[in-house]
Amino acid sequence: MTGQAQATLLGIETSCDETAAAVVVRDRTGAGRIVSNIVRSQIEEHAPFGGVVPELAARAHVVHLDAIFARALAEAGLALAEIDAVAATAGPGLIGGVLVGLTTAKALAAATGKPLIGVNHLEGHALTARLTDGIAFPYLMLLVSGGHSQYVLVEGVGRYTRWGTTIDDALGEAFDKVAKLLGLAYPGGPEVEKLAAIGDPARFAFPRPLLREKRLDFSFSGLKTAVRLTAEKTAPLTDTDVADICASFQMAITDIIRARTGTALVRFAEELPDAPPQIVVAGGVAANRAIGLALRQAADEHGARLVVPPAALCTDNGAMIAWAGAERLALGLTDPLDIAARARWPLDDLGRTGQGAA
């Protein structure tokens, strides 16, 4: 199916600890509409361990995926035969979970004779703003999640250039590790944000790694170590101590994000002088309000449009996978049934190797 024909896609996402499926329609104008979007979180399964256990995640996908995609179809009022194609995350992610979702999608595609699209999970995030806000290419994306922190230039479907990434921990990972060392509940990111709101951000002078460098890479390991050393020095920690550590940590993060985003927008203006400056934020950490404010300040300072999809579409979900599949299907890009799952799959590989080379 090529051109601007309307298409209805079932999308499946199982790359980490959400079992998700959705039905999305891309109409003849290229606009998208979410018909159903079902997400089952595995927080309760992983909370006792303070983090995601890959084997438990894969097992939960096996147990629940069939019911999840059946519910997505039911809420859309569609039979499987009425779907035009099946899209599923083919990577990157926890390989056991990716295999569950991709294998299920292969079975559905084979049984119905419908096209299969193996979606790069990061491309799902990269294209979500086109579904929610109709943003046109090109634009800059900041992806901040538990596994990824990177600036990416998005010039088209499959056309991505990574401008910067983390050289150690991802931002969401840093939040979770700080929460764990402070004894906060899992998932840790929202807990750190909640306590930061009542803490003193000026009490502890934590470092801002790489802040003075012009490159767009991140480093959060040293900041995390500084938090640990401060907590050990201050122990035994009172509730006020914990809140102040969280506030000071989050302030360091927002300073880094604000400065890095400003640098990225300057580069965007220099390299694409004829394009309106636009930045899209994706990933679960985008829900953090302090980080959102820092991004807004950077965008306003540089006259850029900031697009933040709804929180439910920033975290992992099937709608973003269905939409990425729809965008690819409109260009005639489908995959064979022997497409392989990939634990690692850099987004900019899509532009070098092409979809289907997985």
pLDDT, averaged per 10 consecutive residues of the chain (358 residues), comes to 77 96 96 97 89 93 97 98 98 97 98 97 96 97 88 96 93 92 92 97 95 90 95 97 98 96 97 97 88 95 96 94 98 97 89 42
Cβ atoms 96, 124 nearer than 8 A: no
If you ran DSSP here, which 8-state letter would residue 287 be given? G
Angstrom distance (rounded) from CA 261 to CA 152? 11
pLDDT at 334: 97
Q: Identify the CATH class of 7-132+313-353.
A: alpha beta
DSSP SS3 for 209: coil
Angstrom distance (rounded) from CA 346 to CA 206? 31
Strand order of the sheet with strand 116-120? Answer: 32-41, 18-26, 7-13, 85-91, 116-120
Q: Which residues of 48-59 are buried (b: 16+ CB within 10 A; e: fewer)?
A: eebebbeebbbb
DSSP SS3 for 308: coil
Angstrom distance (rounded) from CA 339 to CA 105? 11
What would the two tokens of residue 325 be?
Answer: 């599949």
Cβ atoms 313, 39 nearer than 8 A: no
Angle between the N-to-C axes of helices 221-234 and 239-271, in degrees from 0 to 180, rounded to the nearest 10? 160
DSSP SS3 for 240: helix
Domain ranges across the chain: 7-132+313-353, 139-308
pLDDT at 350: 76
Q: Could you tell me the CATH superfamily of domain 139-308? A: ATPase, nucleotide binding domain (3.30.420.40)
List the beta strands (DSSP E) in the chain.
Answer: 7-13, 18-26, 32-41, 85-91, 116-120, 139-144, 149-156, 159-165, 278-282, 305-307
Cβ atoms 241, 200 nearer than 8 A: no
pLDDT at 318: 98
What are the phi and psi torsion angles at 25 (to 5°)? -110, 130
Q: Which residues of 117-153 are buried (b: 16+ CB within 10 A; e: fewer)?
A: bbbbbbbbbbbbbbbbeebeebbbbbbbbbbbbbbbb
| Identical fold, 7-132+313-353 and 139-308 | yes
pLDDT at 352: 52
Q: What is the pTM of this model?
A: 0.92
Instruction: Return the closest-CA partner of residue 147 out of 211, 193, 98, 181.
Output: 98
